[in-house]
């Protein structure tokens, strides 16, 4: 009897392991269809010499079209915060044979917010870059980050399986109305912007010490490799900027960022924040450029950089 | 500490491990401490209410056991009832009656200065109060010897798996089990775990998913008419079932792992072919409590026809009021009372009609039709249970069939994938419930071949992992 029970228990465990393997393979297949994974593959297959490496979150991802900019690679990903950016940069510079001439990093209003510090998903992707032990120690929540690590390595499907299916379905199904790509045509511009700004800044504080720490580390890392840095203030709609004023002392915020940048040689700040005010048709939502906007913006950045002649010995420019 | 949280499962694992390592003599101490800790996780100070209720009922029962004088026994029973119902009234019903009275006084322009009692409702108060009340009444009636061991009695009142949302256990069933010695039995533990898994699936995969859509519609009911209201009402019908029966399954499974057998609370209620059958299968511990401690003492069906109708109706009104201090719950209870009376009154007419249209008494078609009608009646009554106010409920009732246009697109607060998952999970539930009903087992697929069990529990486990809502709402019945 005892032997039978043990056999059944073992068989059941085996069946669970088999299901786990099948689901994990299925998950990996589905993930491979996502932009984040495609970008990763493209990066591996890209040329070894990259003149301009763009890192950041969806602002940068949507704003710069690498296809229009020779020798650039936009390696930004949705929801990426400075912890993710640092670890990714560290991986690129220390564990790949890519030669990077210049790194473009974002310094937008929300880049250091508490809400942004929480966003670093999916673990399946990030586990290949982030040192969760270190990140957990900094956040003083090692259990949570160990959990994230395990999720990334062993049970990635527990994090976002349904979102993945939804994402794939929505991109393919004719039943789902496609999103309006022009912010100017949005029905609820006002309330939508208010909600977005609230989600970005409402919680606790708008400068997270840990994100600032990884921002500084990213600058130091580039400095140690003699790589010039371009800090970009990406374009916003006026609605977004106006609403953000309710939550942030913008002047104080940028004084803080500029003072950090000033301490790092070869750091240049390019400010495009208000360049697109009143041009809502170039945005798809309050803070992301659409394809048309990205084309214009990419050319603007290229032109501005050409006029700067960035080298590793430049000082801070405004 | 919700049953569907990591904290609970950590707590459960720790308690279970120590439980089986401890000698039987000390297990009650562990379980009592664990139960008090579990309750204090909600609000520390409310433990005093449980302690107060425990002390009063313990001593009242001991005193009842000591005396043979009927009048003295009555006094002790009255003391127990007064304290317990008093606590329940103060925390749960005072504001409701106070507000209702204020409304009446205001209507006649009379000053009414009694202030509101602004405190948070202690979680599970209706459950443990009813449990201790049944003990006092049983001791008074001589059906149960008073429990002499204070610790064991305290554990009966506060036993953590069923403390906050039942099943409402009888002292005659549960108390003797605390004195029994349970050793580790692998098969029993596995059965308990299966029950927990199935309960968890119902809660996090079905109920919490449906809650998103139901809340979206019911929280702004005025914005909808027709199909969204119908879908939300049917979804709530399944939400509340999965939420509450899911909780009961976890409670029963947790107890089963330790060796305790709690009473069944649900037996595939939506497959009932009449409203009276529904109440024999839905929240059984509460409906049997009302039967034994209210309906029968009122005279049941022994005091003439009209008194019987009156008793039935009163029981349902009180049952509605038990759920919550709001007119919506009272109307919900009354509606079920009306259903039941209507069923009794139309019994002959229905039989004649069925035979006229050629439906035989035990035919499958009649059974199917009865289940369909009962299900829809119950679903309709849930509108009052879920609606935020009486006016919302009436708005929903009157707009269920207005603007019925299938071509109209509507926003149900969730995407197509989630909607599809909701529908699939409901089908999975109906399938499982039907198999349970036929196999007469409370553990899904227990009597099936091993291979089917493997497939089923793999689906349950991976259903939870893949599609479970990570941060869902609390169990609905926690508010009662």
Structurally, chain A folds into a number of domains equal to 1
Residue A84 maps to which CATH number? 3.40.50.1110
A205 in B contact zone (CB under 8 Å) = no
* Average pLDDT score, chain A: 87
Residues 320-339 of B with CB under 8 A from A: none
What is the model's pLDDT at position B102? 86
Q: Which two tokens stand for residue B295?
A: 């309906």
CA distance A255 to chain B (A): 38
Provide the pLDDT for residue B55: 94
Report CB contact under 8 Å: B416, A176. Answer: yes
Q: Is residue A13 part of a domain?
A: no
Output the pLDDT for position B480.
65
- For chains A and B, count residue pairs whose Cβ atoms are closer than 8 Å: 43
Q: Quote the minimal CA–CA distance from A64 to chain B in Å.
A: 30
Of all residues in chain B, the one with the smallest CA distance to A11 is B454
Range of the domain at A136: 32-308
Please report the pLDDT score of residue A316 as a whole number.
Answer: 47
Span A166-184, mean pLDDT? 73
Of all residues in chain B, the one with the smallest CA distance to A27 is B466
> How many angstroms separate the CA atoms of B211 and B468, rounded?
12
Assign 3-state DSSP to chain A and report helix, strand, coil percentages, each to 5.
55, 10, 35
| A30 shares contact with chain B (CB less than 8 Å) | no
Q: What is the DSSP string of B282-331?
A: SSHHHHHHHIIIIIHHHTTTSS-HHHHHHHHHHHHHHHHHHH-SSHHHHH
Which residues in chain A have Cβ-Cβ distances shorter than 8 Å to B206? none
User: Which DSSP letter does residue B2 get?
Assistant: -
Residues of B in contact with A5 (CB under 8 A): 186-187
Tell me whether B458 touches chain A (CB under 8 Å): yes
Distance from CA of B98 to the nearest CA of A (A): 38
Residue A117 domain flag:
yes
Q: Does A26 touch chain B (CB under 8 A)?
A: no
Q: Does A170 touch chain B (CB under 8 A)?
A: yes
Place of tokens 């956040």: A139
Contact A161 B416 (CB under 8 A): no
Residue of chain B whose alpha carbon sits nearest to that of A159:
B466
Please say if B336 is a catalytic residue.
no
Q: Which two tokens stand for residue B161?
A: 């798996």
Report the residue from A5, A8, A157 with minimal CB separation from B466.
A157
Contact (CB<8Å) B417/A162: yes
Q: Which of B416, B450, B466 sits opposite A23 (nearest CB)?
A: B466
Biggest CA-to-CA distance, chain A? 83
Residue A15 at interface with chain B, using a CB cutoff of 8 Å = yes
User: Does A19 sit within 8 Å of B416, measured CB to CB?
Assistant: no
- From B233's Cα to the closest Cα of chain A, the distance in A is 24
CB contact under 8 A, B467 and A8: no
- CA angle (B432 as vertex; B288, B231 as ends), nearest 5: 85
Q: Point out the catalytic residue in the list B107, B149, B323, B336.
A: B323
Q: Which residues pair with A52 in a beta bridge?
A: A72, A102
Domain annotation covers residue A23: no
Q: Is the minimum CB–CB distance between A165 and chain B shorter than 8 Å?
A: yes
Which residues in chain A are contacts of B416 at CB distance < 8 A? 169-170, 173, 175-176
| pLDDT surpassing 50 at residue A31 | yes
Task: Search chain B and give the residue with CA nearest A12.
Answer: B454
Enumerate residue ranges in chain B where pLDDT < 50.
none
Does any domain span residue A314? no
Q: Does A246 touch chain B (CB under 8 A)?
A: no
Suggest the residue from A141, A155, A166, A188 to mutate for an interface test with chain B (most B CBs closer than 10 A).
A166
Residue A1 has pLDDT above 80, yes or no: no
Please state, in angstroms and as integers, the Cα–Cα distance from residue B171 to each residue in A128, B61, B67, B135, B166, following that order.
57, 12, 20, 6, 13
pLDDT band at A317 (very low <50, low <70, confident <90, very high): very low
Interface test with A, best of B190, B411, B415, B417 (most A CBs within 10 A): B417
From CA B234, how far away is CA B227, in angstroms rounded? 11
A-chain residues within 8 Å CB-CB of B458?
Answer: 15-16, 19
- Is residue A215 included in any domain, yes or no? yes
**pLDDT, position B406:** 63
- A4 lies in some domain: no
pLDDT at B401: 86
Q: Do A5 and B186 lie within an 8 Å CB cutoff?
A: yes
B417 CB near a chain A CB, below 8 Å? Answer: yes
The nearest CA of chain B is from the CA of A144 a distance in Å of: 12
Q: CB of A174 within 8 Å of any CB in chain B? A: no
Residue A24 lies in a domain: no
Q: Please, is B408 exposed, middle or buried when counting C-beta atoms within 10 Å of its C-beta (0-12, 13-18, 19+)?
A: exposed
Q: Could you tell me if A169 lies within 8 Å of chain B, comparing CB atoms?
A: yes
pLDDT bin (cut points 50, 70, 90) of residue A159 is confident
Confirm whether A75 is domain-assigned.
Answer: yes
Q: Does B447 touch chain A (CB under 8 A)?
A: no
* Residue in chain B lying closest to A176 (CA): B416
Between residues B113 and A68, which one has the greater pLDDT? Answer: A68
Are residues B458 and A19, on separate chains, in Cβ contact within 8 Å?
Answer: yes
Nearest to B124 by CA among B60, B38, B198, B185: B38
CB burial readout A261-295, b (16+ within 10 A) else e: beebebbbbbebbeebeebbebbbbbbbbbeebbe
Q: Average pLDDT in the A116-137 region?
A: 88
Q: How confident is the model at residue A179 (pLDDT cuts 50, 70, 90)?
A: low
Selection from A292, A275, A205 nearest residue A237 by Cα: A275
Q: Which of A270, A269, A266 is nearest to A223 (CA)?
A: A266
pLDDT at A318 over 50: no
């Amino acid at each position: 009897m005892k032997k039978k029970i043990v056999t059944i228990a073992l068989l059941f465990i085996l069946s669970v392991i088999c299901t786990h393997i099948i689901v994990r393979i299925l998950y990996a297949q589905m993930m491979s269809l996502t932009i984040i994974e495609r970008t990763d593959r493209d990066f591996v297959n890209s040329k070894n010499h990259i003149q301009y490496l763009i890192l950041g979150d969806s602002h940068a991802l949507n704003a710069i079209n690498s296809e229009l900019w020779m020798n650039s690679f936009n390696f930004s990903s949705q929801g990426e915060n400075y912890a993710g950016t640092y670890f990714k940069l560290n991986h690129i510079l220390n564990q790949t044979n890519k030669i990077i001439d210049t790194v473009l990093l974002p310094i937008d209003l929300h880049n250091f917010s508490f809400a942004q510090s929480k966003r670093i998903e999916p673990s399946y992707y990030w586990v290949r870059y982030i040192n969760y032990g270190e990140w957990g120690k900094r956040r003083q929540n090692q259990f949570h980050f160990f959990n994230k690590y395990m999720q990334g390595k062993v049970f990635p499907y527990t994090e976002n399986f349904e979102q993945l299916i939804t994402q794939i379905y929505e991109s393919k199904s004719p039943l789902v109305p496609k999103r309006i790509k022009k912010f100017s045509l949005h029905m609820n511009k006002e309330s939508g912007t208010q909600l977005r700004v609230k989600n970005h800044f409402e919680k606790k504080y708008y400068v997270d010490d840990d994100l600032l720490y990884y921002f500084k580390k990213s600058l130091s890392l580039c400095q140690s490799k003699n790589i010039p840095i371009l800090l970009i203030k990406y374009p916003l709609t006026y609605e977004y900027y106006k609403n953000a004023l309710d939550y942030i002392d913008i002047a104080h915020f940028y004084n803080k960022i500029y003072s950090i940048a000033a301490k790092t040689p070869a750091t240049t700040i390019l400010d495009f924040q208000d360049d697109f005010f009143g041009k809502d048709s170039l945005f798809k939502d309050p803070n992301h450029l659409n394809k048309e906007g990205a084309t214009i913006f990419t050319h603007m950045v290229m032109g501005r950089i050409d006029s700067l002649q960035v080298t590793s010995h430049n000082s801070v420019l405004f | 500490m919700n049953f569907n949280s990591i904290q609970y499962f950590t707590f459960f694992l720790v308690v279970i491990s120590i439980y089986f390592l401890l000698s039987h003599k000390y297990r009650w101490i562990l379980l009592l401490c664990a139960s008090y800790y579990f309750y204090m996780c909600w609000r520390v100070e409310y433990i005093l209410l449980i302690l107060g209720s425990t002390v009063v009922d313990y001593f009242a029962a001991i005193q009842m056991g000591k005396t043979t004088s009927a009048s003295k026994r009555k006094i002790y029973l009255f003391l127990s009832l007064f304290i317990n119902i008093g606590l329940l009234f103060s925390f749960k019903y005072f504001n409701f009656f106070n507000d209702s009275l204020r409304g009446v006084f205001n209507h006649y322009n009379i000053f009414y200065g009694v202030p509101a009692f602004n405190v948070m409702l202690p979680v599970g108060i209706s459950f443990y109060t009813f449990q201790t009340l049944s003990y006092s009444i049983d001791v008074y009636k001589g059906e149960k010897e008073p429990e002499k061991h204070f610790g064991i009695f305290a554990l009966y009142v506060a036993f953590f798996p069923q403390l906050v949302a039942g099943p409402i256990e009888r002292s005659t069933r549960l108390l003797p089990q605390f004195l029994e010695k349970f050793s580790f039995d692998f098969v029993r533990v596995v059965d308990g775990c299966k029950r927990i898994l199935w309960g968890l699936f119902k809660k996090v995969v079905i109920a919490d998913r449906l809650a998103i859509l139901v809340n979206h519609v019911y929280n702004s009911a005025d914005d909808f008419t027709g199909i969204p209201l119908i879908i939300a009402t049917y979804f709530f019908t399944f939400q509340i079932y999965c939420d509450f029966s899911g909780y009961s399954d976890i409670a029963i499974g947790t107890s089963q792992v330790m060796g305790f057998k709690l009473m069944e609370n649900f037996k595939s209620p939506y497959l009932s072919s009449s409203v009276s059958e529904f109440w024999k299968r839905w929240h059984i511990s509460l409906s049997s409590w009302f039967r034994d401690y209210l309906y029968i003492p009122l005279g049941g069906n022994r005091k003439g026809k009209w008194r019987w109708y009156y008793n039935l109706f009163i029981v349902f009104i009180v049952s509605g009021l038990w759920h919550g201090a709001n007119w919506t719950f009272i109307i919900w209870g009354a509606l079920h009372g009306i259903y039941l009376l209507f069923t009794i009154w139309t019994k002959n007419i229905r039989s004649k009609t069925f035979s006229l249209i050629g439906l035989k008494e035990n035919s499958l078609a009649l059974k199917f039709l009865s289940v369909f009608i009962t299900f829809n009646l119950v679903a309709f009554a849930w509108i009052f249970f879920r609606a935020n106010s009486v006016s919302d409920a009436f708005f929903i009732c009157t707009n269920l069939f207005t603007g019925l246009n299938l071509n109209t697109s509507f926003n149900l607060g969730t995407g197509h994938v989630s909607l599809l998952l909701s529908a699939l999970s409901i089908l999975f539930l109906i399938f499982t419930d039907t198999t349970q009903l036929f196999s007469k087992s409370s553990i899904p697929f227990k009597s099936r071949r091993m291979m089917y069990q493997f497939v089923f529990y793999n689906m349950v486990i991976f259903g939870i992992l893949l599609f479970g809502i990570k941060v869902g709402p609390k169990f609905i019945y926690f508010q009662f």
